Amino acid sequence: MDHNKKKAYLINAVAVVALYLVFFVLIQTKSMNNYFVGIAIMTCIMIIMAMSLNIVAGFLGEMALGHAGFMAIGAYASASFSMALIDGGLPLPHLVILILAMIVGGIVAGVFGFLIGTPTLRLRGDYLGIVTIGFSEIIRIFFINFGPTGGAAGLKGITKLVNFHNVYWVTIVIAFLIFTLGRSKQGRAIISIREDEIASEAAGIPTTRYKVLAFSLAAFFAGVGGAMYAHYQSFLEPSKFGFMFSIEMFVIVVLGGLGSLTGSIISAIVLTVLPEMLRSFAEYRLLVYSLVLIIMMIFRPQGIFGRSEFSLTAFIESLIQRKNVKNSIGGGEAS
């Protein structure tokens, strides 16, 4: 690893720890009430969902509009698993139960991603979008009519295992894993398919295998996000995982920039916090989303960051450079 990469990793690590410490102090001193802590937790969950969708929509370049279905699968699978463990009386710490539940939710959602992706990823564009919408609606209707998970009334009695501290670090770990994926051999192969699938096939890349891999990984991380959601809300309602929720996630990814993880993170923060700040206009939320998307498509169709990533190191260096230039100009004028 060269000096610049080490420097970038160190700065990012310091920023991540510093941000956590700020929230930790605010929460411990009660300067941040439960309402704002809840917003922070939901923001982290939406960041996980946006980053996972970006694997398919951004890295792979496919239109997937049924991401809420994978979140629902992960949520219900993990909740059923944790409830069985707790009801069984196993003397396990809550953190261990949460980790196991996340793994179960992610694996079950990932398996469904593999099963759905294998036949459907031969389709492209609008056709794939329609199929993923159909899949998500099938999942939602299934849970509405499935008695063991509460049916339309929802699944109740889920132990609340999620707090800001564990959801924050889960979000950081997932961000690191997806960021690493994008720069790995497999990630570059997935991105090459987005750029030119025919050329990728000619270069010997097994495009179908990598497309299914991307779809399955996106479903896995969506399942983990669903597990976090289930164990924070303590109640699951099938109607929450409807078509419009998938659209909200897709808007977040498009707004941030298809292929940009930092874009997805910033966009998820804005579009999760903003509605809470404008709660009196909550009924116009979808209208606002639509207008934002239209404006972005007109003036910046590539999203806020496009396919680029926000670099904290470059930002700090630019600030230092500006300060040095300002000081040199000031010194010249003084002389």
**pLDDT tens-digit profile of 28-84?**
998 999 999 999 999 999 999 999 999 999 999 888 889 999 999 999 999 999 999
The predicted-structure confidence for 130-148, as pLDDT tens digits, reads as follows 899 999 999 999 999 998 9
155: in domain: yes
Does 317 fall in a domain?
A: no
What are the distances in angstroms from CA 104 to CA 119, 130, 143?
Answer: 24, 28, 18
Residue 325 lies in a domain: no
Task: Specify the pLDDT at position 93.
Answer: 92
- Is 321 among the domain residues? no
With respect to residue 28, please indicate whether it lies within any of the assigned structural domains.
yes
Q: What's residue 1's pLDDT?
A: 53
Query: The tokens of 62 are what?
Result: 């496919």
Residue 4 lies in a domain: no
| Number of folded domains that form the chain | 1
Domain that holds residue 49: 14-240
Residue 236 has phi, psi (to 5 degrees) of -120, 130
Which residues fall within 8 angstroms of residue 6, CB to CB, at 6 or more apart? none
Domain membership flag for residue 262: no
Tokens (6 digits) for 334: 């003084």
- Is 127 within a domain? yes
Residue % of the chain over a pLDDT of 90: 55
Mean pLDDT in residue range 279-298? 72
Q: In whole angstroms, what is the distance from residue 201 CA to residue 36 CA?
A: 49
User: 8-12, 22-26, 40-44: which range is least confident on average?
Assistant: 8-12
How much is the pLDDT for 217?
A: 97
Q: Is the dihedral of CA 6, 12, 15, 17 positive or negative?
A: negative
